Amino acid sequence: MPPLDFSKLHPSYQPQFSHFPSRRSTIYSAKGAIATSQPLACQAGLEILNKGGNAADAAVATAAALNVTEPTCTGIGGDVFCLFYDAKAKKVRGINGSGRAPKALSLEYLRSQGITGDAIPLTNLNSVTVPGAAAGWLKTVEEFGSGKLSMEEILAPAIRMAREGIPEHELNANQWKISEKLLKNASPNWSEMMMPDGNPPLPSHIMTHPELASTFEAVATQGREGFYKGRIAQGESARSAVFVDEDKDEEEEEEVDSSRKRKKTALIPTIAVVDLVKAGGGVMTLEDLAECDAEVIEPIKYDFKVGEAGDHGVSLWECPPNGQGLTALVALGIVEAVEAQHGIDLLELDHNSTLYLHILIEALRLAFADTRYYVTDPDVEHVPVKEMLSKEYLQKRAALIDLKKSSTIRHGNPINSSDTVYLATADKDGNSCSFIASNYAGFGTGAIPKGCGFTLQNRGTGFTLREGHPNNVKGGKRPYHTIIPAMVTQGEELLMSFGVMGGHVQVLLNKLRGFSAQASLDAPRFCISAGLPDAGTANAASAGDIDSEIWFEDGIAPEVVNELRAMGHQCEVASGYQRKIAGKGQVIQLVQDPSGRRVWACGSDLRGDGCAVGQI
């Protein structure tokens, strides 16, 4: 009789996505709550709430912790956006923490570098815009924070996690494995984000991030200057404490976690952000980084079913351009116009039925066609937000939808990024924060500034390299952005904070038809196009093409998919780990107890490793 094969007991043995579908319950809390795609990151947010911080403080702490737990899609080398509901003022406000292109970047320069297409290649370091995350964190705390905690206290959980190490979770480990080649080809510093043996971590493997901890400490103690000046910005001219191999003849030894080699800290030159970008043919300067700051923004909204039968309806809130939140608002407006034109109530149609999905798909394709063309940096080009949300315009767009077949739609292309983390937080005082962060395509460029422990984003790929296009590349300009946090209000009262990459309208309608916070995320979704050009699908070359494939998750009835094919839709089915293209969403809904006390009802997407947790 053969002996037992104990290798089968390791968490990495034959991993499958949703091997046996499990049931998640909605999580409730009468105090604060955190919902995100990584359970350990949730604990960082709870720690801040328990120290007296509010929802904004907790959101930043959680976002930093997610850089430790899910660097495969987010980090301080990327960008952030947030919406904040102030319960006292009953107002939604926002932060744009997205960075700008280097001032010297131009279409002419890119052409001279041999870039011939409509977008900067994902691994070309000219796709690196100034990382806005650090500025976004600081501005969020400055504008919306409780004022009770310092940045050092807010970042302390993430710093501790990075220093001590955390066990990797299943879905994140899978993405790390997929991205191994990218990291090792992108820069000579790839070992900072691999296990000591040079391999990506498997589920349960403990990863430490001492270099990232040092980066966080610089931001915690020095603020904006800690990230946008000095050794992180440009190590070539800055001598600073970094981790080096023990065989180097340097000073001041200290012990790092036993899962890593014994290392020393020393004052040595490093090659950081500016030097790394320039080494890859980029034109970023210290001045570009030094001028980076996040901005307070006025969110935009669409009122859905407001005024019908005296009803207040709901208002969907999004960040304004350069983010693509306008897409969800336009799509929702087109849905409402289709209902009026055809006498249909979408919420009365069978969920995920053929007609239901056809209307949503066509509405989103029309919305993407407009926003992918017009959305750009409003500081540089006019974006006709008011016009695109007018009832007259939405009715004209809705009239293009044929209820019996798919239409050919011109203009623009929806590039959907599922390689993003979204988190929602709420506190005991009724405030809530809807927060999203991303490197864009997975690890972004995969390039790691030496001694910094994070990868640089490739958000500049969002520019459209076409003379005369509103979103054409220009120095100092912010590109079209795919990451969008959302909120829903009823009148002045908060209904929920939520976000899901590419699925805002689907999840909102799920909620409005009576699904719980958790069930609204669990329900199978569709995604227009393969997402990013590195999506790993058979038709990835057509990513971003409105007239390309529609991906449907397992769980949508095969007969419905076949009927949609017969209507002219190019249908594909996503199963297993491929379901990540539908994004990882979170929901925190406000409900009132009969006693008058508020209760947070929370859901977390089964497509991620995470959970929702309540404060006690």
- Does any domain span residue 243? no
Mean pLDDT of 549-566: 94
Is 261's pLDDT higher than 50? no
| Averaged pLDDT of the chain | 87
More reliable by pLDDT, 607 or 195: 195
Is 2's pLDDT higher than 70? no
Is 18's pLDDT higher than 90? no
For 185, the domain range is: 39-238+269-615
* C-beta atoms surrounding 182 within 10 Å: 20
Mean pLDDT of 503-510: 92
List, in sequence order, every residue forming a beta bridge with 482; answer none if it has no partner: none
DSSP-derived pairing of the beta strands 295-297 and 571-574? unpaired
**In 3-state terms, the chain is what percent helix, strand and coil (to 5)?**
35, 20, 45
- Does any domain span residue 89? yes
**Contact by Cβ (8 Å): 489, 329:** no
- Does any domain span residue 515? yes
The least confident of 83-87, 498-502, 513-517 is 498-502
Residue 115's alpha-carbon distances to 106, 186, 214, in angstroms, are: 12, 18, 36
Is 194's pLDDT higher than 50? yes
pLDDT confidence tier of residue 576, bands split at 50, 70 and 90: confident
pLDDT confidence tier of residue 22, bands split at 50, 70 and 90: low
pLDDT on residue 608: 84
What gap in Å lies between CA 86 and CA 489, rounded to an integer? Answer: 12
Is 163's pLDDT higher than 70? yes
Mean pLDDT of 237-262: 39
- Does any domain span residue 98? yes
Q: What is the pLDDT of residues 307-322, one digit of tens each?
A: 755 567 899 999 999 9
pLDDT on residue 253: 35
Question: Which helix (H) or strand (E) is 322 found in, with range?
Answer: none
- Provide the percentage of residues in the chain whose pLDDT is more than 90: 74
Looking at the structure of the chain, the number of domains it has is 1
Q: What is the pLDDT of residues 455-478, one digit of tens each?
A: 999 999 999 999 999 999 999 999
Is 246's pLDDT higher than 70? no
- Does any domain span residue 1? no
pLDDT on residue 21: 65
The 8-class DSSP code of residue 7 comes to G
End-to-end, the C-alpha distance of the chain in Å comes to: 52
> Could you tell me which of 236, 265, 176 has the C-alpha nearest to residue 455?
176
The least confident of 390-399, 413-422, 455-464 is 413-422
What gap in Å lies between CA 486 and CA 332, rounded to an integer? Answer: 13
Residues 6+ positions from 33 with CB-CB distance below 8 Å:
27, 424, 425, 426, 588, 600, 602, 612, 613, 614, 615
Residue 577 has φ and ψ, to the nearest 5°, of -65, -20
* C-beta atoms surrounding 357 within 10 Å: 25
- Does any domain span residue 336? yes
What gap in Å lies between CA 474 and CA 188, rounded to an integer? Answer: 29
- Does any domain span residue 30? no
- The structure tokens listed for 215 are 């980066």
